[in-house]
Structure formats: C-alpha cells, structure tokens
C-alpha cells in the first residue's frame, strides 16, 4: 500500500503554463491506495473523504508529470486524465517512484446560458500549483482597452491560437466579452459539443475564432484558429449585443448584491457608458430579475423548501404542530 495526495481545484492557464489552482477551503486528503484498488473504488473514496455528494457532482481526475519527466517530453505535452482502470493503474505505478499528486475537479452538471451554449464554471483559490508547460504563442494584438472585472473567466482579450480554455462556457464568455469590449457583433457559425466557430456578424469580414474539443473525456477547448484583424467596418452595423443573462452577470460583477435593487434606467445608463450596450427596458428589467434569482433563488424554489423546513422545525422542537395549506391550483 502507498499514499496518494489528492487536492480539489481546477486547471487554469497562467503565463503560458497550466497551473492547478487548489481550493484551499476544501484542503487536501492523503488517500490510502491498496494494491489492486479499482478506479471506481478510488472515485468512491474521494467522494467520501472530501464529503462530495455523488448526486449532481461528477469528478474529473488528472495529473501533471513531475519536472524530472517533462525534460524528456515534447514541449507541448499537456495534462493527463484518469478515466478508467487502465489509466488508474498507470498513475499508481508512477506514484510508487515519483512525486505525483491527484488533481480533482468538479464538473458542474447544470447548464447555464453564457451568451452561447455551455456550462457554468467555478472559482477556486490558488495555492502551490502543479505546472504543465506549453509552447509559446506570439500575440499579434496588444489592444489596451479596459479589462473586464471578472474573476470567474479568462480576460476577454486573451484569445489566441493555441490557447486552451477550461470548457466551452469559458471560451464562449471570453468571446462574448471581447465583442462587447471592442464594440462589434458576432455570429455563431457552428456550435456543438465538440466544436465552436464564431465569426464577425459582417459576412465580408475575416475575423474568426475556431475552437475544438480534442479529448472526448475532457471539457477543455483548444483554439485551433484565430483571425484577430477585422477586414470590415464592423462598428457600422451597430454596437455589440448581449443577452439578459450576460447583462445580469455584468451587473453582479460590477455592483455585487447592491445591483439587485438598482433602477433599470440606471443599469441601462451604466451598461451603455461602460460596455456600449444599448438594451431595451424589458431586457434590463429581465437581467435584474435574473441576477436576483441567481443570488436569492426563485420564489418557486423557496416555497418548495417549506415542507423540509417544517419537518426540521418539528424534529427540533418536539410537540410543535406544523401544517402547510395550498390552494387547489398548486396542490
């Protein structure tokens, strides 16, 4: 038997290197690995030791090679994922002679609209990271426009050929914010689980982003083609557009919970001045309501918790009588 250190967090691209940002609140676990332990048994152990509910939470396991091995590997060697017994046995054999830690990421199984299709992401706090080097990429554009104040996603301007994004949602959000910051419109040419192609809304323009999912067992998207220069007068076809979901996130990022009570006309004025978004009153109002739902939950979900609350109330206070009455329409 040997012990394997497991840490919970997510991979992020930072200064041309992949780093695993550890969720410091979750801490780490020293996992006892017995000879012949199966992959599914290891997954169960991680769920139990980290206290992660299996319902709605899918785990992704990966690791980076030690520095001593990277010297013999190609420069563009990336992460290694563990998805079955064979890959798990390979990692176990390596751990017997090399210092390797198991990087554990949570897959968010709920889908949320970020302007295109994709899943939400989670933010973690950095600790001592594992690093995977990648090839240097020459950046053609050094645009100095204001940065988006968003800690959950890549900087909107950092899109370049050869870059990796944690999932499709992160890539989609960055493209959306790039178009808002630089005041042009985009059009989704193709979008599915494995490919995303976004072009300038002006059909004569060559601006284009193409990204693909190279590993069917991973959520990472790789930018395979990026034409950064516009060959059109994109600002002549109107300013950028944003869905109410995007506006709601911008509202929360800029004002936090205080934005939940802002008047729609004040929100509209800010979005116009800061991002060039000229949205109608109903969209601003809807965005504020979506921000409220994200922070406070919906009235329906709150009422749905009443039976559970009443049960706990009776259990904690013996002798308490609790009853729930609903009208015929909602029974």
User: Each residue of 185-228: pLDDT tens digit?
Assistant: 888 999 998 899 999 888 888 899 999 987 777 788 888 999 98
Average pLDDT over every residue of 84-104: 88
- The least confident of 108-112, 176-180, 221-225, 242-246 is 108-112
pTM score, two decimals?
0.43
Answer with the residue of higher pLDDT: 24 or 82.
82
User: Which tens digits make up the pLDDT trace of 240-298?
Assistant: 778 888 888 888 888 888 888 899 999 998 888 888 788 888 999 999 999 888 888 87
Give DSSP secondary structure letters for 71-108. TTS-TT---EEE-SHHHHHHHHHHHTTS---EEEEEEE
Judged against a pLDDT cut of 70, whether residue 31 lies above it is answered with yes
Give DSSP secondary structure letters for 251-286. HHHHHGGGGGG--HHHHHHHHHHHH-----HHHHHH
How far apart CA 250 and CA 291 sit, in angstroms, is: 9
* Closest C-alpha to 183, from 240, 249, 119: 240
How far apart CA 119 and CA 88 sit, in angstroms, is: 27
The pLDDT of residue 181 is 77
Token output for 139: 């950046």
């Amino acid at each position: 038997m040997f012990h394997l250190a497991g840490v919970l967090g997510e991979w992020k691209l930072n200064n041309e290197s992949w780093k695993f940002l550890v969720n410091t609140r979750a801490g780490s676990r020293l996992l006892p690995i017995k000879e012949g332990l199966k992959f599914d048994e290891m997954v169960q152990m991680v769920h139990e030791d980290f206290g992660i509910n299996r319902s709605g939470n899918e785990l992704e396991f990966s690791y980076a090679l030690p520095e001593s091995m990277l010297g013999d590997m190609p420069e563009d060697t990336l992460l290694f994922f563990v998805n079955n017994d064979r890959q798990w046995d390979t990692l176990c054999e390596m751990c017997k002679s090399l210092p390797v830690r198991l990087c554990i990421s949570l897959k968010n199984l709920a889908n949320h609209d970020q302007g295109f299709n994709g899943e939400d992401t989670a933010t973690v706090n950095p600790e001592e990271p594992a690093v995977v080097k990648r090839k240097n990429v020459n950046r053609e554009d050094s645009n100095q426009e204001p940065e988006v104040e968003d800690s959950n996603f890549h900087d909107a301007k950092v899109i370049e050929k050869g870059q990796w994004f944690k999932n499709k949602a992160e890539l989609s959000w960055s493209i959306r914010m790039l178009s808002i910051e630089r005041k042009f419109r985009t059009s989704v040419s193709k979008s599915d689980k494995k490919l995303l192609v976004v072009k300038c809304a002006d059909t004569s323009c060559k601006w284009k982003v193409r990204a693909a999912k190279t590993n069917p067992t991973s959520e990472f998207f790789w930018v395979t083609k990026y034409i950064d220069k516009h060959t059109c007068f994109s600002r002549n076809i109107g300013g950028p557009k944003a869905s109410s979901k995007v506006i709601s996130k911008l509202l929360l990022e800029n004002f936090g919970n205080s934005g939940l009570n802002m008047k729609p006309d004040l929100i509209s004025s800010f979005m116009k001045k800061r991002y060039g978004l000229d949205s109608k009153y109903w969209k601003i109002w809807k965005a504020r309501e979506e921000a409220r739902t994200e922070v406070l939950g919906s009235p329906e979900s709150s009422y749905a918790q009443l039976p559970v609350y009443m049960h706990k109330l009776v259990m904690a206070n013996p002798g308490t009588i609790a009853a729930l009455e609903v009208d015929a329409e909602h029974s």
